[in-house]
Amino acid sequence: MWHRFNLLVIEPTLEGRIVLRSHLEKLNYSVDFAWDIESTLTQTDTKFYDFILIDEKLDTQISCSKLIDSLHRKSKLNQETPIVFLYSSSNLEQPKSEQCHSFRRPVTGNDVLELMEFLLKLKLLSA
């Protein structure tokens, strides 16, 4: 039985948003999308999310831990929301900080199920 997470996905490309929305909605997940930091801050000010998923391709000039700190500090509703970075390639160097959780970017329905299992484990560990 899967927990039905309320997710915010920060995905800079329209194609990526379409693919992820399709997979997540087939599994009845509540998902909202943002495409940059500004739209992310707008979303996190209006709604609580169980997780915020950020695509690695998001054009930021700061480290993942600084991005996480900034998002948590600026959001009244999501100051404790776990943030997970999605990576397209297993060859990419994973973030060194324990604060920066990462998972490979889901492409198929099975990948999404694996991601949800990973998120559930994170949620249980933080409880």
Q: Tell whether pTM > 0.85.
A: yes
What pLDDT is recorded for position 125? 85
What single letter denotes the amino acid at residue 4? R
Using alpha carbons only, what angle is made at residue 51 by residues 28 and 92, rounded to the nearest 5 degrees? 105
Identify which of 105, 103, 8, 1 has the alpha carbon closest to the alpha carbon of residue 51: 8
Q: Which tokens go with 126?
A: 């933080």
Kindly state the helix (H) or strand (E) to which residue 10 belongs, with its residue range.
strand 6-10
Higher pLDDT, 97 or 79: 79
- Report the SS3 class of residue 85: strand
Cα–Cα distances in Å, from 29 out to 8, 24, 82, 120? Answer: 11, 5, 17, 13
pLDDT tens-digit series, residues 42-88: 999 999 999 999 988 776 677 888 888 989 999 999 999 999 999 87
Per-residue confidence band for 106, with pLDDT thresholds at 50, 70 and 90:
confident
- CATH level 2 (architecture), domain 6-126: 3-Layer(aba) Sandwich (3.40)
What pLDDT is recorded for position 88? 78
- Parse the chain into domains and list their residue ranges: 6-126
Work out the end-to-end distance of the chain between its first and last CA atoms, rounded to an integer number of angstroms.
18
Q: How many CA atoms lie within 13 A of 58 on its CB side?
A: 25
